[in-house]
Amino acid sequence: MSIGLGHCLLLAAMLFSIGLYGALAKRNIIAVLMGIELMLNAVNINFVAFNRFTPVSDLTGQLMTVFAITVGVAEVAIGVALAYRIYNDRLTINVDELDNMKG
Amino acid sequence: MMHWLRHGTGGVMMNEMISTLVFYVLAMVILGTALGVVMSRNLVHSALLMTACFIGVGMLFFYLDADFLGAMEFMLYSGGVAILVVMGVMLTKRHDGPPGNPFNNNTLLALGGAGLFVIIMIGVVISTTTPAGGYVSPDTVNELADMMLNKYILPFEIAATLLLAALVGAIILAKGDGEA
């Protein structure tokens, strides 16, 4: 049995859900960022797999992945800067304690 | 053994077996390190395992004939993002000893949500059929550059603007208002 689209989609789905679990269940803001990075990578795997295994005639899927990687890297730079700012102002990076907008 | 690889259907079968084996090894590396990222008690270990996970994903890109993206994944994710995250861990450390990586009170809810997502996705993947086919570029770098600078020039420029905005924003955020 050779590897096809389904295998890659299942792998990406599992990676995405591990990242989702990390993003939702973690207390440290950096750990939440790591979970989001794992989810972004799962989406990139999907793009590349669709480009490889479905009948297309150019590299649009891979080009979309290039843009997705760009956005992901910009997002992690902003995220780390925000975490540093929050730590400087509030001396905590526990996302449960950052609730001053709670009604 | 060697004439298997060179002649007839035996060689094809052998190649397919090796290809399948490589995919499963890569999948195990990716999922294992991703689980390590989430489960590790030490945030530095999480960052290291995240780097290993990105290297696995980059190798999967090579496996899927996307060499340029594989190289990009190695440089940007297992290079740049890993260093940024480790710097974030260092800058936000509160006390001596290894930085902890605790769970919050939503663990069961998050587990349920993630499990539900996997179950739905498995159902979707099994119950749908996609047309067979595929496209392998002989030269991904040239083809991607051609697309990026002709047909997709507008998204390319927007991505450049986004990167500039993110750079300026990150500097302003990290600098704070107090210091001029």
Is B119:A37 a contact under the CB 8 Å cutoff?
Answer: no
pLDDT (tens place) for every residue of chain A, 103 residues total: 678 888 999 999 999 999 999 999 988 899 999 999 999 999 999 999 999 998 888 899 999 999 999 999 999 999 999 999 888 888 888 888 888 887 7
Residue B100 reports pLDDT greater than 90: no
Q: Where are the domains of chain A?
A: 5-90
Whether residue A11 and residue B115 make contact (CB cut-off 8 A), yes or no, is no
Write out chain B residues lying below 8 Å of A16, CB-based.
117, 121
Query: What pLDDT, on the 0 to 100 scale, is given for residue A44?
Result: 95
Whether residue A14 and residue B133 make contact (CB cut-off 8 A), yes or no, is no
Write out chain B residues lying below 8 Å of A49, CB-based.
64
Query: What pLDDT, on the 0 to 100 scale, is given for residue B121?
Result: 92
Is B123 exposed, middle or buried, given 0-12, 13-18 or 19+ CB atoms closer than 10 A? Answer: exposed
Whether residue B134 and residue A52 make contact (CB cut-off 8 A), yes or no, is yes
Query: What pLDDT, on the 0 to 100 scale, is given for residue B179?
Result: 58
User: What global pTM score does this model have?
Assistant: 0.89
Query: What pLDDT, on the 0 to 100 scale, is given for residue B92?
Result: 85
How many helices (H) and strands (E) would you count in chain A?
3, 0
Q: CATH code for A5-90?
A: 1.10.287.3510
Facing A69 at nearest CB: one of B23, B72, B88: B72
* Residue B19 contacts A where some CB pair is shorter than 8 Å: yes
Question: Which of A15, A85, A88 is the best residue to mutate to test the B interface, defined by the most B CB atoms within 10 Å of its own CB?
Answer: A15
Distance CA B88, CA B170 (A): 13
Is A56:A31 a contact under the CB 8 Å cutoff?
Answer: no
Is the complex ipTM higher than 0.90?
yes
